[in-house]
Structure 1
Amino acid sequence: MAALRILQIVHDHPDWTLGGTEIVAHDLHRALVRRGIASHFLAAATSLQRPDAAAGSLGRQGGDMVLRTGRYDRFMMNRLDGLGWLDSLRRLIADVRPEVVHLHGLDRIGAEIVPAIRRLAPATRIVLTLHDYQIICPNEGLLQTRPDGTRCRAARPDACRACFPQLGADRHALRKTYLATILRGVDRFLVPSRFLRDRFIDWGLPAERLHFIPNAVAPLALIQERPRAQRNRFAFFGSIAPHKGVLTLLEAAAQLKSGGADLRIALHGGLRQPEPAFRAAFEAHLAAARPLVQHPGAYDRTALASRMADTDWVVVPSLWWENAPLVILEAQAAGRPVIASGIGGMAELVKDGQTGLLAPPGDAAALAETMAAAASDPGLWSRLAVAQPKASHEGFVDAHLETYGSLLEKRCAA
């Protein structure tokens, strides 16, 4: 297995964006390198990260490679920045000579990278991990309608017009046909949650091509436990964005404040280019919830262990389906029970009353009631804390190596 050559490709780098996809992909890459595998990591870089680089050019970020991207059609998932990136990809493939290219999504890199790899390296096997619903849903992959945020279980051309009324149903049908054709070039799809798998089966991918490998996190730094008589410290970790349910959490906090609850809530995360209306709503809700709520802001991943140490309960109040939220896996690795919305991949990772607590998405009153009950019952915290599942990152890496190996065996047998 030491001779195996892998190229991991992702739409961003964890040095710039602490998203789950970026972290999972980079941790996988580093674990492969530690095992002696010739793994290489390529991330997209925008003008924000590489303002002086030409679109399509290759650069470096530490020991990793970055591909400068330019204009991009988010609806069709197409590159609009010329063909320079193809020359860069050709040189990269000639240098790395990957036996397997593992794509972690197609966003920003562009869907046309699949046929490009097929043309440049016909014998290379292509793996695509479906970390989100971007391919199904052109509304940022959220499977939510705009502006009311109603959740969609599937994408239908007529229903998608609620988000894109300027585009006819034929454009949505054309998008699906185009992407489905592109995906025929993928040898194997990996999915981190069964809920997401069902969504892609409904969209049209054959069930036998979707292989379930649950995500896992690399071991966290050792957390120094701080015994407390009360377990009344709650924390949110992630981007401050509408679909993450932050306003629901702040509404719940305001209700708890008016009831005289004895607890504290920390919001760990930054506002990433928010719409002015959401920024104004967030600031107003935050002001109404203070002093119960504090907003320490964005954090570096190296600070995660210390922030988890100051936390008893991790709250994940997302309004969208989620897939396999990294924050839940990080909380479980840290022995911190999670209070999450009982939908999508969250409901797969958190078992209500067994490993954590579930509340209806968008229901501030129910969330406040759940948090109040959690804060008032130290015994509940102790029971749930010791029951936290510990997903093995070594097992996660083994599953990927098995996937790569099986694809190469099939190639040799062909």
Structure 2
Amino acid sequence: MTSPLRILQIAHDHPEWTPGGTEIVARDLARALDATDGLSARLLVAATSLQRPDMAPGSLGAIGPDAVLRTGAYDRFQMARLDGLGWIESLGRVLRDTRPDVIHLHGLDRLGIEALPVIRRQAPRAQIVLTLHDYQLICANDGLLLTRPEATRCQGASPDACARCFPERTAAQHALRRATLLATLVHVDRFIAPSRFLRDRFVAWGLAAERIEVVPNAVALPAPVAERCPRARRNRFGFFGQIARHKGVLTLLDAARRLKDADLAVTLHGGLGYADAGFRAEFADRLAAADPVAQHLGGYGRGELPARLAAVDWVVVPSLWWENAPLVIEEARAAGRPVIVTGHGGLAEVVADGETGLHVPAGDAAALAETMRGATDPALWARLAAGRGPADFAAFVDAHRALYAALTRRMAA
């Protein structure tokens, strides 16, 4: 009997703690792979003192069936671990227990760039895959590719441009950061990009295009909540995700304030997470100014999402940064809800203006308000809602399975 292909998925967080797209994709993919004949998959996640204060740095724990590696001090600029060497032995224990043929990392934040040579040394025959869910490797500004302090979208990282954003570090230090990261990434056998847009940003940064495979995101969701009866007007708009400045929520609230003369409702679904006091205060002020049109309904568990999506007509994604491939688009499509998005980056790639959604300029509250005013037309809503459905999650899993099989065949040869 042939042994199953063993896969270890590694993510920098768990969706039970942080329900972000990266965490959800890693957990759902691990579960689906483990349920597939001929495969065995396990998930390892990193945790800080915020998630697991009961664990010592470098130690191992668990959350349900998933393993947890407690991390400590971390240099966000260098993406380097500063918490000693105990984590190396803990990671080695996981590798010895799982004996993976493929180690698939979903980002390197918190885990540290040193994880790659450590994995290569401790599991020399395993194939290493890294999904580039964001721009953390390229951009020291939390991977947002937004300039500081203007918060305009960065057209391309360079040592001089990065030094203008971070003047406390020289251009030479930024160049060294890039060179160090690229040199360490040689340990990766294959990169995955969820969008062509993100792939192109990494090619411009220095990764070879032939090392990156584009696999668009898909999402596994409970069945959508059925609509009981058609509505005469499609005037309920919802935002779903992290309440953060770069997500464009302040633009949405400004648009809502402009729509007080219209019969519209705007609901924001999501938590403020680790937002600083300044943004929290600004968000509260804008929310109050948009009352009664706008309401913040707070965070939600994944099981609540279908019902919350059923309670809106449109999903609005007003992001200011270069979104890659946000899961909220697929979640909206699964619920039969058309989307209004800023027409740039990965959003423009997955949403065709006037065909599968509507585009608006980033940061333009007036344009967003006018688009929302016109979107109440039930005929427009029906046409866009009948557009492209969500990506096939089974095909998403199969694409990863095929990639793993090709890599392991190459290793065997």
TM-score of the superposition, structure 1-length normalised?
0.98
Q: More displaced, 386-395 or 61-70? A: 386-395
**Using the alignment, how far apart are the partners of 2:21 and 2:236 within structure 1?**
24
Could you list the per-position Cα deviations for residues 146-174 of structure 1 after superposition, in whole angstroms to 9, with x for gaps in the alignment? 12101112111111112211000111001
Letter paired with 1:28: L
Q: Which residue of 1 aligns with 2:206?
A: 204
Could you list the per-position Cα deviations for residues 294-325 of structure 1 after superposition, in whole angstroms to 9, with x for gaps in the alignment? 11100111000000110100000000001000
Q: Which residue of 2 aligns with 1:12?
A: 13
**Using the alignment, how far apart are the partners of 1:105 and 1:267 within structure 2?**
28
C-alpha displacement of 1:2: 6.2
Partners of 1:50 and 1:68 within 8 A in 2: yes
Matched position secondary structure for 1:235: strand
Unpaired runs of 5+ residues, structure 1, are none
Q: Which residue of 2 aligns with 1:400?
A: 400
Q: Which residue of 2 aligns with 1:189?
A: 191
Say yes or no: does 1:391 pair with 2:391.
Answer: yes
Letter paired with 1:101: I
Q: Which residue of 2 aligns with 1:160?
A: 162
Letter paired with 1:190: I
Partners of 2:45 and 2:68 within 8 A in 1: yes
Q: Which residue of 1 aligns with 2:148?
A: 146
Q: Which residue of 2 aligns with 1:373?
A: 374
**Using the alignment, how far apart are the partners of 1:329 and 1:383 within structure 2?**
17
Partners of 1:336 and 1:388 within 8 A in 2: no
Superposition pairs of residues 5-84 of structure 1, within 5 angstroms: 5-36=6-37, 37-84=39-86
Q: Which residue of 2 aligns with 1:223?
A: 225
**Using the alignment, how far apart are the partners of 2:155 and 2:399 within structure 1?**
29
Match among 255, 260, 275 for residue 258 of structure 2: 255
**Using the alignment, how far apart are the partners of 1:184 and 1:385 within structure 2?**
44
Partners of 1:220 and 1:333 within 8 A in 2: no
Partners of 2:222 and 2:303 within 8 A in 1: no
Partners of 1:337 and 1:388 within 8 A in 2: no
**Using the alignment, how far apart are the partners of 1:294 and 1:179 within structure 2?**
43
Could you list the per-position Cα deviations for residues 98-129 of structure 1 after superposition, in whole angstroms to 9, with x for gaps in the alignment? 00000000000111111001100111100000
Letter paired with 1:292: V
Could you list the per-position Cα deviations for residues 44-84 of structure 1 after superposition, in whole angstroms to 9, with x for gaps in the alignment? 01101111211010100011001000000000000100000
Partners of 1:355 and 1:389 within 8 A in 2: no
Partners of 1:235 and 1:313 within 8 A in 2: yes
Say yes or no: does 1:306 pair with 2:307.
Answer: yes
C-alpha displacement of 1:389: 2.5
Could you list the per-position Cα deviations for residues 363-389 of structure 1 after superposition, in whole angstroms to 9, with x for gaps in the alignment? 0001001000001x1100011111133
C-alpha displacement of 1:35: 1.1
Deviating runs (4+, > 2 A) in structure 1? 219-222
C-alpha displacement of 1:222: 3.0
Letter paired with 1:160: C
Partners of 1:313 and 1:336 within 8 A in 2: yes
Say yes or no: does 1:232 pair with 2:231.
Answer: no
Kindly tell me the number of residue pairs found equivalent between the two proteins: 410
**Using the alignment, how far apart are the partners of 2:149 and 2:155 within structure 1?**
17
Q: Which residue of 1 aligns with 2:409?
A: 409
Partners of 2:224 and 2:310 within 8 A in 1: no
**Using the alignment, how far apart are the partners of 2:45 and 2:13 within structure 1?**
5
**Using the alignment, how far apart are the partners of 2:144 and 2:58 within structure 1?**
28
C-alpha displacement of 1:275: 1.8
Q: Which residue of 2 aligns with 1:288?
A: 289
**Using the alignment, how far apart are the partners of 1:285 and 1:97 within structure 2?**
52
Could you list the per-position Cα deviations for residues 174-196 of structure 1 after superposition, in whole angstroms to 9, with x for gaps in the alignment? 10010000100100000000100
Letter paired with 1:396: F
Matched position secondary structure for 1:60: strand
TM-score of the superposition, structure 2-length normalised?
0.98
**Using the alignment, how far apart are the partners of 2:274 and 2:397 within structure 1?**
34
Q: Which residue of 2 aligns with 1:114?
A: 116
**Using the alignment, how far apart are the partners of 2:110 and 2:315 within structure 1?**
31
Matched position secondary structure for 1:183: helix
**Using the alignment, how far apart are the partners of 1:219 and 1:143 within structure 2?**
30
Matched position secondary structure for 1:39: strand
Q: Which residue of 2 aligns with 1:241?
A: 244
Matched position secondary structure for 1:311: coil
Matched position secondary structure for 1:149: coil
Q: Which residue of 1 aligns with 2:361?
A: 360
Q: Which residue of 2 aligns with 1:91?
A: 93
Matched position secondary structure for 1:371: helix
Partners of 1:144 and 1:152 within 8 A in 2: yes
**Using the alignment, how far apart are the partners of 2:225 and 2:352 within structure 1?**
24
Partners of 2:28 and 2:220 within 8 A in 1: yes
Could you list the per-position Cα deviations for residues 381-405 of structure 1 after superposition, in whole angstroms to 9, with x for gaps in the alignment? 0111111332100000000000000
C-alpha displacement of 1:273: 2.1
**Using the alignment, how far apart are the partners of 2:308 and 2:75 within structure 1?**
38
Say yes or no: does 1:325 pair with 2:321.
Answer: no
Q: Quick one: percent identity of the two aligned structures?
A: 63
RMSD: 1.0
